[in-house]
């Protein structure tokens, strides 16, 4: 049976619906009967149905009302999925009951980066995040220092979670096939001191403002005088660039600059 025009993927929403059951099973790896899963962007339900067969409960958050009929048809055999209509970037995840402990999702391409950081910063009940995103975005999340993909975003994400690329995903398993490869990213939440993180975040965003400049020169003027000594205490010289520091070293540098070592 053909799909209505309304049910077709929408480019403006970054929709690339998963069509391959094997990829869905790989994405759902590790989900068990004790898990309450959050899925963002369920689309037509290819991943949702796999999750429903493994998890205790699935919260599926979908922005596009046009796709809901197809999603609900796919979920007819399953009684353990709650579908929530809403914008993933504005959704109140705290209000979900029972609270999810894992995110498993094929994330819409246009929200993956800001959404993942928001969930790591605000939804501390999510202890694991496993999701599909563009390979380029995934590489920026998992980037090692001193590489071209390593920037402020990588540092912030890696301060909050252990990150690895779990699986490369071919364009052929999506409708429509994107022009790029995707990847399944696996994250496990780290326990971090909130004050340390917020202090480090301000420093990281300033430090990477211009990659070509020395880290010291990117900092607010009030910190520039003491920054060389703070860097020396970590074993770095005054000409160090931001991309040379590991994520946890930004926490140590922020502490040194605030006098809280």
Has residue 21 got a pLDDT over 70? yes
pLDDT tens-place string over residues 155-189: 999 999 999 999 999 999 999 899 999 999 999 99
* Residues forming beta bridges with residue 161, ordered by sequence position: 189
Q: Based on the domain organization, do 77 and 113 belong to the same domain?
A: yes
How many domains does one find in the chain? 2
If one compares 110 and 79, the residue with the highest pLDDT of the two is 79
Q: Which residues contact 10 (CB under 8 A, 6 or more apart)?
A: 64, 66
Q: What is the mean pLDDT of the chain?
A: 93
Q: Which residues contact 57 (CB under 8 A, 6 or more apart)?
A: 36, 37, 80, 81, 82, 98
Q: What is the percent of the chain with per-residue pLDDT over 90, rounded to a whole number?
A: 90
- What is the model's pLDDT at position 258? 84
Average pLDDT in the 52-74 region? 96
Nearest Cα residue to 129 out of 141, 120, 121: 120
User: pTM score, two decimals?
Assistant: 0.92
- What is the model's pLDDT at position 109? 86
Looking up residue 230, the CATH number of its domain turns out to be 1.10.8.100
Among the candidates 163, 189, 215, a domain finishes at 189
Judge whether 104 and 37 are in contact, CB under 8 Å: yes
- What is the model's pLDDT at position 10? 47
Among the candidates 189, 215, 246, a domain finishes at 189
Domain that holds residue 171: 5-189
Q: Based on the domain organization, do 170 and 94 belong to the same domain?
A: yes
Q: What is the percent of the chain with per-residue pLDDT over 70, rounded to a whole number?
A: 93
């Amino acid at each position: 049976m053909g799909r209505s025009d309304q049910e077709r993927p929408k480019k403006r929403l970054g929709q690339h619906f998963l069509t391959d059951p094997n990829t869905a099973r790989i994405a759902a790896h590790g989900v068990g009967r004790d898990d309450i899963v959050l899925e963002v962007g369920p689309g037509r339900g290819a991943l949702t149905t796999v999750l429903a067969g493994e998890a205790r409960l699935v919260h599926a958050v979908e922005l596009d009302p046009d796709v809901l009929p197809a999603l609900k048809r796919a979920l007819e055999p399953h009684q353990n999925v709650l579908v929530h209509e809403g914008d993933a970037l504005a959704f109140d995840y705290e209000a979900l009951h029972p609270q999810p402990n894992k995110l498993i999702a094929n994330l819409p391409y246009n929200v993956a980066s800001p959404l993942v950081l928001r969930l790591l910063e605000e939804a501390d009940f999510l202890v694991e995040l496993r999701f599909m995103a563009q390979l380029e975005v995934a590489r920026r999340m998992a980037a090692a220092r001193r590489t071209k993909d390593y920037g402020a975003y990588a540092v912030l994400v890696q301060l909050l979670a252990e990150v690895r690329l779990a699986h490369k995903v071919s364009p052929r398993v999506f409708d429509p096939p994107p022009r790029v490869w995707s990847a399944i990213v696996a994250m496990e939440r780290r326990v971090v001191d909130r004050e340390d993180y917020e202090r480090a975040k301000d420093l990281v965003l300033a430090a990477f403002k211009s990659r070509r400049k020395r880290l010291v020169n990117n900092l607010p003027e009030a910190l520039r005088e003491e920054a060389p000594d703070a860097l020396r205490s970590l074993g770095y010289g005054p000409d160090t660039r931001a991309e040379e520091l590991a994520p946890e070293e930004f926490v140590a540098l922020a502490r040194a600059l605030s006098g809280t070592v």
